[in-house]
Amino acid sequence: MNNKVVLMGLGLVVGLFVGIGLTWYTTSNFTTQAIIEAEIKFNELLEVEKSKYSSKISSLERTKSNLEYTLVSTEMFIDSLNTTISNRGKELNQIKKKYNEKLSSIDGMSHNELTNFFSKRYQH
């Protein structure tokens, strides 16, 4: 009877070990499969998000390039306009200077010089 109890106890222990081993093996396989599927799904979602942001980044880079081109063009137009304004200002100053010199020389002109001056002035 002692042998039967020992054998039953030993059988129970061996059965428990075999049961635990089979349970661990089965759940380990399910767990590994679930982990692999989760990683695949995560990678797919990550790629989708990357593609969304890649297109947005590409669009922003094009917009930035267009803005830089517009800025450079605007700076060139402003420089050109400033040069034109400066040149026109110099030309106006020269015209004013010549006009003032002519007006100041009127006092010393003779009657014939005054007649020629005013007749030429209104002929243009």
Instruction: Give pLDDT tens digits for 34-88.
Output: 888 999 999 999 998 888 888 888 889 999 999 999 999 999 999 999 999 999 9
The domain ranges of the chain are 2-119
Instruction: Give pLDDT tens digits for 81-112.
Output: 999 999 999 999 999 998 888 777 777 777 77
pLDDT at 124 over 80: no
Residue pointed to by tokens 């200077």? 97
